[in-house]
Amino acid sequence: MKRLVFALSAAIVSAMCVCCSSADRYVTSDGAILGTTFHISAKVRGVTPAEIYAAMSELDAEMKASMSIFDSTSLISRVNRGLTDSLDSHLRFNLEMARAIGEKCDCRYDVTVEPLTEAWGFASKHAACRPNVDSLLQFVGYDKWRIEGDRVVKSDPRVRFDLNSIAKGYTVDRAAAILEEMGAENYIVEIGGEIRCRGVNATGDTWRVGIDTPFEGNMSPGADLYATVRLKDRSLATSGNYRRFYIDGDGRKIVHTIDPRTGRGTVSRLLSATVVTDDCITADALATMFMVVGADDAIRMAESMRDSVSVYFILDDGKDGYEIFKTIDM
């Protein structure tokens, strides 16, 4: 489950609340969005926390209406049921980005896995006792759909999309754009652990973000941090299988990161994948992809992406401890 927390000292928190003047102070806003929470801290003139909160509430409604598979009236739900083939700008952009990212990793990242995430119980419905994976794989793959103008064309009406691995990062990017339109040059946006920041914090230092220790049972974000990273003008997302999983009747661990080649969740010694890139939509998708491909392929792919992507992987060392692979500047 993707989740990070701010590693902010008491001094930084205090500085957020008291600055030189009301015109120059950092304002903070917190609330609910996309079924999770958001936190924003921004230095912006003439904008109140209430105005930021209102903007986030409007963004929440807009994103859910477009891309929520949990809302039967959303556009993506209607596309999935074959009631329309029309796309709005949000859905089209996310589908195009998903395809671009998937094609870079041999289609190991695929947003047509919705029939599989539903069958395994990760799309708001109960898991099938023994999902017929082979039959569901017939509807999975980038060769099963294409975009023509503002329409999506499916080769089979049973093709269904799940953008949960990318939409949250996209929403972070949209929230950051809203703050910049308000005039913010220094800010941090966090939605359910996905982050985008610009400039510096209230003390003039780079933003600092904590990475949770990925042990099963660590259900309280921020309660047990393994590391902190510094961020400036970058985005960050983390994916892991230590919160969103269940044990089936045969004692097997069933995880939410579904491999589109096998139709099953990937369990490897890679416990947590943190990705830093320019935009959060890419970080979000890549973090999921790294968990899907497993430890060895994730490390190989991360090495090949060093020029534009930084990572912090926490792996099981096989001795009740952790091994770290990182290309990120801490």
pTM (two decimals): 0.88
**Nearest to 316, CA basis, from 253, 272, 252, 258:** 272
Helix H, strand E, coil C: the string for 14-45 is HHHHCCCCCCCCEEEEEEEECCEEEEEEEECC
C-beta of residue 165 within 8 angstroms of C-beta of residue 123: no
C-beta of residue 4 within 8 angstroms of C-beta of residue 238: yes
pLDDT band of residue 129 (cuts 50, 70, 90) is: low
Domain spans in the chain, listed from the N-terminal domain onward: 66-154
Q: Pick one of 1.10.3980.10, 1.10.4030.10, 3.30.700.30, 2.40.10.120 as the CATH number of 66-154.
A: 1.10.3980.10
16: tokens are: 């957020």
pLDDT at 3: 43
**Nearest to 324, CA basis, from 272, 283, 258, 253:** 272
pLDDT in tens, 75-125: 999 999 999 999 999 999 999 999 999 998 888 899 999 888 888 777 655
What number of CA atoms fall less than 13 Å from residue 27's CA on the CB side? Answer: 20
pLDDT at 248: 62
**Nearest to 3, CA basis, from 319, 252, 278, 256:** 256
